[in-house]
Amino acid sequence: MGSRDRVREIALERIKRLFSLAIETLHERPDLAQRYVEIARKIAMRVKIRLPREMRLLICRHCKRFIFPGVSSRVRIQPRREPHIVITCLYCGKQMRRSLRKRC
């Protein structure tokens, strides 16, 4: 394993740890949870890796804030047209849509 792979592996471990800390501290200290997510995003950008999908869903695409369902975002299922999930950020009010159909 090369040093570049090792750096990415360490970065991914730190990002996962920061997200778990953010989820734990969200109710008591939302400002600290937001800071953990900012640090995790900076680590990912520095080592040029994408955040895992489950972590990307917890960041608003518009204002880049940490959004957690039921706390700082609203999640609704829309059956009309193509069934999809609508996630509304309660900080900026923007909506993000995710399809419920699997990609072929």
Same domain, 5 and 26: yes
Q: Which strands make up the sheet holding 95-99, listed edge to edge?
A: 73-78, 84-89, 95-99
Which of the listed residues 54, 76, 95 is the one where a domain comes to its end?
A: 54
Same domain, 83 and 37: no
Which of 67, 69, 87, 68 is CA-nearest to residue 77? 87
Task: Assign 63 to helix, strand or coil.
Answer: coil
Helix, strand, coil distribution of the chain in percent, nearest 5: 45, 20, 40
Same domain, 9 and 45: yes
Per the structure, the count of domains in the chain is 2
Same domain, 37 and 20: yes
Q: Which residue carries 């069934």 as its tokens?
A: 83
Encode 37-55 in three state secondary structure. HHHHHHHHHHHCCCCCHHH
- The CA distance from 84 to 76, in Å, is 9
Tens-level pLDDT at each residue, the chain (104 residues) = 689 999 999 999 999 999 999 999 999 999 999 999 999 999 999 999 999 999 999 999 999 999 999 999 999 999 988 899 999 999 999 999 999 887 66
Same domain, 31 and 67: no
Same domain, 15 and 42: yes
Q: Domain of residue 31: give its range.
A: 1-54
Same domain, 88 and 40: no
Q: What pTM, to 2 d.p., does this model score?
A: 0.88
Report residue 82 as tokens.
Answer: 């193509």
Identify the CATH number of the domain in which residue 46 sits.
1.20.5.420
Same domain, 47 and 72: no
